[in-house]
Structure 1
């Protein structure tokens, strides 16, 4: 498959296509669109830009993948991940090896050269989403983050959404993908270590100098990290890749797999997980 001219070399050297001449067209389109009301039920605010949502809901869509849905809690996700582990333990050894082999293959495909891990200052405004996603993958590789954990988290959030998701159906898949990446990129975004220095007067102390009484100077040195912001669409792009890899390894319709409880009762893996959630007080009684 040929590589486009704008996507050769390191991702930091990629550029979006020339957008000159679009300014006036976009401005006119925004003016028309902003006369409409937000697509969220019972929201009377006007739309923002070219979005079908108002500014508040559009920002939330970018951040979490849905304008109204609540986000998963850590305890909820942990139970879904434990359900995945328990189910895998019930499978024949041959099937477990097949899943492990496919996860290894998908993890190798997902990883990128460490040299692609650009600094935040190098991520210019015309960098396309595809390039930003490639740079994030390189940073995950540089930070030695296992993509198989990313795939597993995406599968767990897919199960969570089948139980808890209360957002807009059209954004459900984007919500799952965005949250999977939010977990994977914690402390794994493009960053640069900076040393800061400040000098200020100490108002609690007075010393005598040839020029009279003065407050002594205090020098403070600290280290901070400049981190690059990862936009919602880039998170969704990466999360979708992780979800596709999980489906290839674990199989589609994973949460519909049949399991048997200790008392011989047959149910789907999703229903079994709901029992665990109720036992933990995270779901109301049936």
Structure 2
């Protein structure tokens, strides 16, 4: 008897066949134990139906994983935690800057650079070794939203203006150049990817490129956003954002602005306990 194929409705409205491999991969990447993975997969498959949404599957898994390993559920909810950096894009810009810091870049948020024609406010200015980047951060608070080719073309135009300024100053544009780099918390359209490849513009999306995606960059350094913390309320979250505390490591770092925040002792202890639980194997 042929195995029934169930269609899953994605956030953007399209459908695809249910994939055991994709589900197991997402749990494995979150640090969920193999025994829990198989049990969760069996229980999810019992409730499949044609047209089930990815959100329904995610919620079911979240409940199951939380029962067995609360530490893993924080990582499993990582994509939703990045979405929770909104509603504005500014916390996402700070998050990208702090993440790049962990990779050895020197960063500044909200820098103004002069082009040949106009000035440009850059979301994140990043420098490492002899290379300088102007980073455009495209935050979306709805899953399934793509960063399209118009954004990449806009960034290309800004890069050209910055490069032309260097030519006016008689600087070698190959030695002194602001390289464009676009981060998004969702995905890029196929045209955006094609145009960026043609124009040599660096892209980092949630799962793109596969080897150096935003998700993999976060997991590699275990630099999770504070929005994964279940013990952190919206008011305290806002206070931490305002003090440039966007990573879990910021919460417990000695001498940081986070350490000096007027948080109740019980809240601080609960935060530290949850941070240690999430960041240690």
What TM-score results when the alignment is normalised by the length of structure 1?
A: 0.19
Larger Rg: 1
Q: Which has the higher strand share?
A: 2
What TM-score results when the alignment is normalised by the length of structure 2?
A: 0.19
Greater RCO (Cα-Cα under 8 Å, separation 6 or more): 1
